[in-house]
A and B are shown apart, each in its own frame.
Chain A
Amino acid sequence: MGEYGLYVWSSYGLALLALVWIGVSARQQWRRELKHAQRRIQAAAQVIAQEHRT
């Protein structure tokens, strides 16, 4: 790469970081929403179960 090696590799490195970040971020958002949905539904199921007992 000669004198341009630093520029080329830093561009590819930045691209790799950016792509990994958006991939991980989107995945984490989905898993977080799924966890919230799980908790809400479990809480609602517990409330219904308690009402049945009373």
Chain B
Amino acid sequence: MNWLWFHKLASPPYAYAVARRFRPWLLWPALLLMGWAAYAGLFVVPPDYQQKDAYRIIFVHVPSASMSLIIYSIMAVSSAIGLIWRMKLAHAVAAACAQAGTVFTVLALATGSIWGRPMWGAWWAWDPRLTSELILLFLYLGYMALRASFDDIGRADRACAVLAIVGVVNVPIIHYSVVWWNSLHQGTTLSIFGKSAIDPSMVTPLLAMLLAFALYFAAILCDGVCAEILRRERNAQWLTKLEPIKQGSLKAA
């Protein structure tokens, strides 16, 4: 298999051009899919026999929680690539992921808390799933704080990479917490191998919202990576050839 396309992504000007080109193709399908999934989740699918309409929070809670785990995993893999192959762009990807990952984690905790109030009678419980998700939030915040504390980008990259790689052990703990311990939180909703614990009529909007969130994150990542590349390539000659810089106007961006 020809891996040239992958190695070319290590080149900042190439990666920049690819990110700018892909962004609209990721963003608009994400927004359309999100709109459809929200409409279906709120108005089309029937209410749950036990939780009635309260369960509709699942269509934002599960995708945000899933994204919080996926994004941290991406950060850890990018950091490992950056450390092993000394690819600066891999560190740029990890840095660009952090803010979105934090927001998805906060959203998962907040929507989970709002859902827990009518169902469990409490806004919060020191349940294994909730506690490990809270630890994930601290890891994201710690990553961003650590990055901000260094003046030198190279040292920041290495320190944050170690944190991301060590912290990734929390991801399987969050996922399997409902299996390993007695948990107030319900078990895994979707299952790739075997029967999902959700009615088939509810699966389609849930998967659609998850895909929408993933596409939206990918679109945001394009902007984040471009910002990181511009920050790191301050004195690079190729910047003079960028259209908005040649024209002296951000309207061309």
Q: Report A's interface with B, CB cutoff 8 A.
A: 1-5, 7-8, 10-12, 14-15, 18-19, 21-23, 25-27, 29-38, 40-42
Contacts and interface: CB of A to CB of B under 8 A. Distances in A.
Contacts of A27: 223
Interface in B221-253: 221, 223-224, 226-227, 230-231, 234-235, 239-240, 242, 244-245, 248, 250, 253
Contact of A26 (B38, B53, B224, B235): B224
Interface residues of B, number: 44
A33 B233 CA distance: 11
B244 A38 contact: yes
26 contacts: A2-B53, A4-B52, A7-B115, A7-B117, A8-B53, A8-B57, A11-B60, A11-B61, A11-B115, A14-B110, A18-B64, A19-B34, A22-B100, A22-B220, A23-B219, A26-B227, A29-B223, A30-B224, A30-B253, A31-B253, A32-B227, A35-B250, A37-B230, A38-B245, A38-B250, A41-B239
Given A8-B56, A11-B114, A22-B99, A29 B227 contact: yes
B230 A34 contact: yes
Contacts of A40: 234-235
A22 B244 contact: no
Nearest to B101: A22
A1 B227 contact: no
Contacts of A1: 53, 56
Main secondary structure of the interface of B (DSSP, over half): helix
Given A15-B64, A26-B96, A33-B230, 18 more contacts: A1-B53, A1-B56, A4-B53, A7-B54, A7-B57, A7-B118, A8-B56, A8-B57, A10-B114, A11-B115, A12-B38, A21-B103, A25-B99, A26-B223, A29-B224, A30-B230, A34-B244, A40-B234
Contact of B107 (A2, A14, A42): A14
Contacts of A32: 227
A23 B114 contact: no
Interface string B28-44: 00000010001000100
Most buried by B among A5, A15, A35: A15
Contacts of B64: 15, 18
B143 interface: no
B111 interface: yes
